[in-house]
């Protein structure tokens, strides 16, 4: 599902991580931890095509990151869902229309299929009754549920979650983790960057750490 071999992660001219070897298999749930500035976000950005992989080898959901062209990035992102800390919802349109926007942008045309898909993903995150609401009418936890629903729209093989509980209180964080656990149990691979060690203790999974320009598995 994801493999990096002797990879170096750059942000512009700056070397952020070197000799990264990472292997995530289908259906796994992995945490990515490390202090602020340790390279977690740069690694995530490389995986979803925001930063080029300039050195080493890498592949994710069947795409070769070494030869990934800009025009291929939308196709890469259809095979993976991305969840951000700050939700990135469009505040000028309803929950339903936020999800509709993504489906239309990725080529969905049939109205009944679109409606069925939106209802399906909202049900998966227990938000089926909130489709008519505007994002600002929702709590932070509800907005993150919508962001996760959006990530599920194109049946991704993998979800990259970058600090998805970073703006949430502890109880809401646990609720969001339960949603992610259910998604993982359905067969979707998850890589989640987090600072929240309490969550890692409560929901143990394989953990990978960024520290001192390196990435290594925590045993």
101-109: average pLDDT: 88
* pLDDT at residue 42 greater than cutoff 80: yes
- pTM value surpassing 0.85: yes
pLDDT of residue 36: 84
Fold of 2-89+137-218: Rossmann fold (3.40.50)
In our burial notation (b when 16+ CB lie closer than 10 A, e otherwise), range 160-191 reads bbbbbbebbeeebbbbbbebbeebbeeebbbb
Give per-residue pLDDT as tens, 153-203: 988 999 999 999 988 999 999 999 999 999 999 999 999 999 889 999 999
Give me the pLDDT at residue 106, please. 82
Contact at 8 Å (CB) between 209 and 39?
A: no
Model pLDDT, residue 219: 67
Q: Taking the domains of the chain in order of start, what are their residue ranges?
A: 2-89+137-218
Mean pLDDT of the chain: 92
pLDDT tens, 43-82?
999 999 989 998 999 999 999 999 898 888 888 888 999 9
Q: What angle do CA 10, 11, 13 make, to 5 degrees?
A: 80
């Amino acid at each position: 599902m994801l493999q990096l071999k002797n990879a170096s992660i750059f942000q512009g001219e700056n070397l952020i991580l070197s000799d990264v070897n990472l292997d995530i298999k289908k259906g796994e749930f992995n945490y990515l931890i490390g202090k602020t500035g340790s390279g977690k976000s740069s690694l995530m950005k490389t995986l979803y095509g925001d930063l080029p992989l300039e050195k080493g080898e890498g592949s994710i959901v069947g795409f070769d990151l070494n030869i990934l062209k800009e025009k291929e990035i939308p196709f890469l992102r259809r095979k993976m869902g991305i969840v951000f800390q700050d939700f990135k919802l469009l505040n000028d349109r309803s929950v339903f229309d936020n999800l509709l926007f993504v489906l239309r942008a990725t080529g969905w045309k049939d109205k009944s299929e679109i409606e069925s898909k939106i209802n399906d993903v909202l049900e998966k995150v227990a938000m089926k009754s909130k489709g008519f609401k505007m994002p600002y009418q929702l709590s932070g936890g509800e907005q993150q549920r919508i962001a996760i629903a959006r990530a599920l729209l194109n049946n991704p093989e993998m979800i990259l979650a970058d600090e998805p509980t970073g703006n949430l209180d502890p109880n809401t964080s646990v609720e969001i983790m339960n949603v992610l656990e259910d998604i993982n149990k359905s067969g979707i691979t998850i890589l989640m960057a987090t600072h929240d060690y309490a969550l890692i203790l409560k929901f143990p999974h394989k953990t990978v750490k960024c520290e001192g320009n390196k990435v290594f598995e925590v045993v």
